[in-house]
Every structure is written in structure tokens, then in C-alpha cells.
Amino acid sequence: MSAVPQFALRTARPAREREGGLVSELIADWAVLALLHELAAWPKPGLVSHVDSGSHTDMDAAMMQRSAEALRPFFAELAMAGRDGADMGCLRSIGLRAESAMLAATGGVNTHRGAIFGLGLLCAAAGAVAEISAEGAAVAPSRLGQVVVQRWAVDIQRGPIPLFSHGAAALRRYGAGGARAEAAGGFRSVYEVGWPALRQGRSLQPDDPAAPPVQACFALIAAVHDTNLLHRGGADGMRFAGEAAASFLLEGGVGAPDWRARAAEIHAAFVARRLSPGGCADLLAMTLFVDALESKGASR
């Protein structure tokens, strides 16, 4: 991925006052970077990384990277749509085109459908409220999850449920809310679980940038009813995943001296059971995106 552009702007101005789509392009850069940082984190139980493909036989890190890059223009388009006050129907239309681009880049493999939905909504929210800092970075002075609630929650709840998606099947069988409930609730798992754990990981390992995303990933697996886990392992599989992640955290998380070895053991156990917390991977990417934008806004 190319470096995030740096522009020497002396003052911050609202996105709607900028010309040429600069803010939307910066937001899209941060969204793709969040996906790539999620991919780079290891060990993440059952998930694809540059080390291995986890519990997946149909994708690898190179495919995930192609997929993320293919989504860049659509994240920018979603940011512009949010800036322009678009309704949920418009956002869905952009999301469907993004999904087509993803499938074209991956040969028909669903690598980022959940991220297109969740991260796409956060891009739209960022487009509505973001500013440009003096250093040329996009910042979000407002909580993006609340922007999603205020602008689109009603339509998200009323929206169509795909009959054959893994999330819809889990909703029917187990009563799990899935991605739609997360979005309509303002991504509480991001703000109440993922982001605090990310910051905790930084305090536990201030000199190891690989550790905080792993800490956040385990915290999300321990707390979230992931419909991908339900699809692959049923209630027993999700219970195993949650207990394994909670045990890792209780024993010190990334603050433990042997945290990498312990995380790798849990990863191997997930792979042996073909468990993949794909929903938590999406939430981790959203956490990294929120951290990148909102921490800059909070520090100003």
C-alpha cells in the first residue's frame, strides 16, 4: 500500500468545505491501512495472516491484500456520500459495487464482505464529520459510531437480510444479531471492547507494535457472538473460542512473557477445529480505523 499522503495545511477545515475529494481519499487510505494492519497481526486465532491462512483453504494474505486495495475507491466514494448526506439506499448501492470489485479481485472468494458493510459505514460517517489536521491527516472530532446511529440506524434495522448469508443463518438458528445489530447499535463492540483492548495492549507492550492488535483481537473473540464462528462451529465452537480467548487475556494477554507462543497455540487449536472469527477480524479492522481517526481528533 502506498503511504498515506501528507499535505501541509495550516488549519483544519470541515470536510464539506474541502475541494477535490482530498478528505475522502485520506479516509479511504486509512480504511485500507486498517485492513492491512489487521492482516499483518499475528497470531490471530484461525485468521489469515502473512504467516499462514489460518482455518481458510480458499484465501491467503496476497488475496486479502488485493481485495483491500480493490476497495479503496469505494471507501472514498462512501466517504463522499456521507459528506453529501446520502441515505442508506445510496450507501448500499456503493457497497454492492464494492462487493463486485472484491469478488473480481479474488476470483469469487468473499474476503471482506463484512468489512465493506461495517468499515464502509464508518467511512461514510467519517466523510460527514472529518476534518484535515495541520499535518494533513484526516481526523474525526465526533464518535463515528454515533454518527452511524444518528444517520442510518433506522434504515439499517429495516434493511433486507440476505437469505443465504452466514450471518442470516446464525440469526435464524441462534438468535445472534450479527453485523447489522452491531452497526445499528453504533459498533459498541469496537468502542467498548476492541478500542480499550488496543490501548491496553499498547500499555502492556509499548515497544511492540504487533502486540496491541492481537490483544484487541482476543478481547473481541472473548466478548462477541461472532456469526462466522457460529456458522463453522455452532454454539460449542463459539463457546470454545470465547473461553480460549478469555483464558489468554486472564493469563496476562500480550503482557505475559510467552504471549506469542500461547497465542500461537490457540491459533493452532482454532485451525484444528476449522474455526474462524471473521466477524471479529472485521471489528478489529474497524477498531484500527477508529483509533487512527478519532485519536487524532481527540488530541487536537
Identify the residue whose cell numbers are 482530498. 22
Rounded Cα–Cα distance for residues 300 and 296 (Å): 7
- Domain with 95, as residue range(s), is 15-162+174-298
Global confidence as pTM:
0.89
Asked if the peptide bond before residue 43 counts as cis, ω within 30 degrees of 0, the response is yes
pLDDT at 7: 27
Rounded Cα–Cα distance for residues 127 and 77 (Å): 9
Q: What is the pLDDT along the chain (300 residues), one digit of tens a residue?
A: 333 333 222 233 444 444 446 899 999 999 999 999 999 999 999 999 999 999 999 999 999 999 999 999 999 999 999 999 999 999 999 999 999 999 999 999 999 999 999 999 999 999 999 987 767 778 887 799 999 999 999 999 886 654 345 555 545 444 445 788 899 999 999 999 999 999 999 999 999 999 999 999 999 999 999 988 988 899 899 999 999 999 999 999 999 999 999 999 999 999 999 999 999 999 999 999 999 999 876 555
Instruction: Please check whether residue 179 lies inside any domain of the structure.
Output: yes
Instruction: Please check whether residue 169 lies inside any domain of the structure.
Output: no
Instruction: Please check whether residue 8 lies inside any domain of the structure.
Output: no
> Which amino acid is it at 203?
S
Instruction: Please check whether residue 10 lies inside any domain of the structure.
Output: no
Question: Whole-angstrom distance between the N-terminal and C-terminal Cα of the chain?
Answer: 27
> Which pairing describes strands 131-132 and 138-139: parallel, antiparallel, or unpaired?
antiparallel
pLDDT at 177: 58
Instruction: Please check whether residue 255 lies inside any domain of the structure.
Output: yes
pLDDT at 133: 77
Q: State the alpha helices, DSSP H only, in the chain.
A: 22-40, 61-70, 72-83, 88-106, 113-129, 144-158, 166-174, 178-184, 188-189, 195-204, 211-223, 227-250, 259-272, 278-298
pLDDT at 138: 84
Rounded Cα–Cα distance for residues 219 and 215 (Å): 6
Instruction: Please check whether residue 4 lies inside any domain of the structure.
Output: no
Give exposure, 197-235, as e/b (b: 16+ Cβ within 10 Å).
bbebbbebbeeeeebbbbbbbbbbbbbbbbbbbbbbbee
Q: Give me the number of domains the chain comprises.
A: 1
Rounded Cα–Cα distance for residues 207 and 201 (Å): 10
pLDDT at 137: 78
